[in-house]
Amino acid sequence: MNLKELSSLKLSESNLGSSTGSNWFGSGSKIDSYSPTDDKLIGSVLSTTREEYEKVIQEAERAKAIWRDIPAPKRGEIVRQLGNKLRAEKETLGKLVSYEMGKSYQEGLGEVQEMIDICDFAVGLSRQLYGLTMHSERPGHRMYEQYHPLGIVGIITAFNFPVAVWSWNAALALVCGDVIVWKPSEKTPLCAIACQNIIAEILKENNLPEGISSLVIGDAEVGKWIAEDERIPLVSATGSTRMGKQVAATVAARLGRSLLELGGNNAIIVTPSADLKMTVIGAVFGAVGTAGQRCTSTRRLIIHESIYDKVKESLVEAYKQIKIGDPLDSKNHMGPLIDKAAVQMYLDALKKIKEQGGNILLEGKVLEGEGYESGCYVTPVIAEVENHYDIVQQETFAPILYLIKYSGDVNNAIALQNDVKQGLSSAIMTTNLREAELFLSHNGSDCGIANVNIGTSGAEIGGAFGGEKETGGGRESGSDAWKVYMRRQTNTINYTTNLPLAQGIQFNL
């Protein structure tokens, strides 16, 4: 694949640096984007300098005054147009996601569909930014609360979902009246430029300021500029827990807000009554989908001792059927890891599993030969471990599935599941109503997402997405996640000729 095949996304060597007229800027150091699929150079991008960053923020400041005065349903119309553009470009953008990031083409298409879905959700939301009315204790007074735009929202995204996570934030922020400044992963800059080109075209067609949606490209230093910038009241950051702690501390130091979507160490509990076929499908997709590079990937399978051997044998047989190769080939289930650094992390994890006493059932290796020239293709791993192993307590962004045995009732399995620092996604496989309800109760899963008889990955945009503990506590996408992109205001109106004070306080002059 080359840039000519992506012509509708307006990517070419001539517009991957300097000002493009699509409100992203770059004249700094060069960033080469190589595909992990075949190690070929897709394109080179010039990063954003500090001076260009200042220009972006200044334009965003000017644009926010215009954008917030546009009625919310009219803002929703712009997001509706974005969704329609994404429908038209779904196949092309999906291919770019697959080729630049390495996930399967089907997953690339699914990621663009998430973008379309959140646009649809946000369009409806633009007519439902509801406040509340309440009764005042003072006669002749009315109280209510309403929501106002925050201003500029900084969005920092990771490589594994190079377009969808931006859209989760962008669609909601835009209908809420905010303008957006996006810092994507430097590992997937072309996906970001393609999205920026799409939304910039819509803004131009509607005679709206380019500064409503901006893009800054670079390494962690650019993300630091956003985190430190007092002109940006909200920073939404997706990535590792280590990165999130740095962003949170920096933003908190200036009393800004942060929305954090960080690491996951997700488990599926498999009880004696579980449907084995459903369990295997959910576990295998959760563990090898996106080559284990989802924050919701299934890392741990906590299996009751009475069915442990049966589940283990079924998983080993299922893994033997996994096809690994070019993610644009629909026959393949799994593509490459993002880069050589990720491969080394995978190899280091395998070494630690053995050192800490684990038993690797399916050995992992880096694939070589025809079709695997990039050096980023690895085989998925199944290992028998104990939950307390240091390596199990960490999130490894790779297709490594840990099998953990439990005995007794489901409370013991829930305790194992919760005994990690992360709290993103969780699931239980059971046909026992009591076990299912206990898992969903306050005594059950401590994660932000808890599923019954489905896997840990594949969240729909209608529900709020996010997790607890070292996952950061943020919520994006559906439900009432929109509220984080706005500031709440309580209003009291006195329509009498008297001025009674609250709590019955007397203050007579």
Q: What amino acid is encoded at 380 in this protein?
A: P
| 373 catalytic residue (yes or no) | no
Q: What amino acid is encoded at 29 in this protein?
A: S
Q: Measure the N-to-C terminal CA separation of the chain; round to a whole number of Å.
A: 80
Per-residue pLDDT, averaged over 127-132, amounts to: 96
Q: How far is Cα 415 from Cα 353, in angstroms, rounded to an integer?
A: 22
pTM: 0.96
Q: How confident is the model at residue 7 (pLDDT cuts 50, 70, 90)?
A: confident
Q: How confident is the model at residue 6 (pLDDT cuts 50, 70, 90)?
A: confident
Helix axes 72-88, 164-175, angle to 10 degrees: 160
How distant, in Å, are the alpha carbons of 16, 65, 87, 180, 185 from that of 220? 20, 29, 32, 18, 9
Helix, strand, coil percentages in the chain from 3-state DSSP, rounded to 5: 40, 20, 40
> Between 224 and 5, whose confidence is greater?
224
Task: Name the CATH code of domain 266-460 (choices 1.25.40.390, 3.40.309.10, 3.40.50.10490, 3.40.50.620).
Answer: 3.40.309.10
pLDDT digits (tens, 9 = 90+) for 162-202: 999 999 999 999 999 999 999 999 999 999 999 999 999 99
Q: How confident is the model at residue 462 (pLDDT cuts 50, 70, 90)?
A: very high
Q: Tell me, what's the pLDDT at 233?
A: 98
Q: Tell me, what's the pLDDT at 13?
A: 60
pLDDT digits (tens, 9 = 90+) for 252-299: 999 999 999 999 999 999 999 999 999 999 999 999 999 999 999 999
pLDDT at 15 over 60: no
**What's the token pair of residue 189?**
């800059």
Per-residue pLDDT, averaged over 394-399, amounts to: 97
Per-residue pLDDT, averaged over 77-94, amounts to: 98
Q: Tell me, what's the pLDDT at 394?
A: 97
Q: Do 382 and 315 touch, CB atoms closer than 8 A? A: yes
Q: How confident is the model at residue 442 (pLDDT cuts 50, 70, 90)?
A: very high
Q: Tell me, what's the pLDDT at 5?
A: 76
What is the residue extent of each domain of the chain? 23-262+472-489, 266-460
Cα 153 vs. chain centroid, distance in angstroms? 16
Query: What is the pLDDT of the chain when averaged over all its residues?
Result: 95
Q: How many CB atoms lie within 10 A of CB 84?
A: 13
Catalytic residue among 52, 186, 261, 395: 261
Q: How confident is the model at residue 22 (pLDDT cuts 50, 70, 90)?
A: low
Q: Tell me, what's the pLDDT at 392?
A: 98
> Between 459 and 319, whose confidence is greater?
319
pLDDT digits (tens, 9 = 90+) for 130-173: 999 999 999 999 999 999 999 999 999 999 999 999 999 999 99
Backbone region of residue 122 per phi and psi (left: phi > 0; alpha: psi in -120 to 50; beta: other values): alpha
Its CATH class, for the domain covering 23-262+472-489, is alpha beta
Beta bridge partners of 25: 216
Q: How far is Cα 405 from Cα 269, in angstroms, rounded to an integer?
A: 10
Q: Tell me, what's the pLDDT at 292?
A: 97
Same fold yes or no, 23-262+472-489 and 266-460: no
pLDDT at 315 over 80: yes
Q: Do 175 and 75 touch, CB atoms closer than 8 A? A: yes
Q: Tell me, what's the pLDDT at 243?
A: 97
pLDDT at 17 over 90: no
SS3 355: helix
pLDDT at 19 over 60: no
Q: Tell me, what's the pLDDT at 10?
A: 79
Q: What amino acid is encoded at 474 in this protein?
A: G
Contacts of 348 (CB under 8 A, 6+ apart): none
pLDDT digits (tens, 9 = 90+) for 212-263: 999 999 999 999 999 999 999 999 999 999 999 999 999 999 999 999 999 9
Q: How many CB atoms lie within 10 A of CB 56?
A: 22
Per-residue pLDDT, averaged over 481-502, amounts to: 96
SS3 371: coil
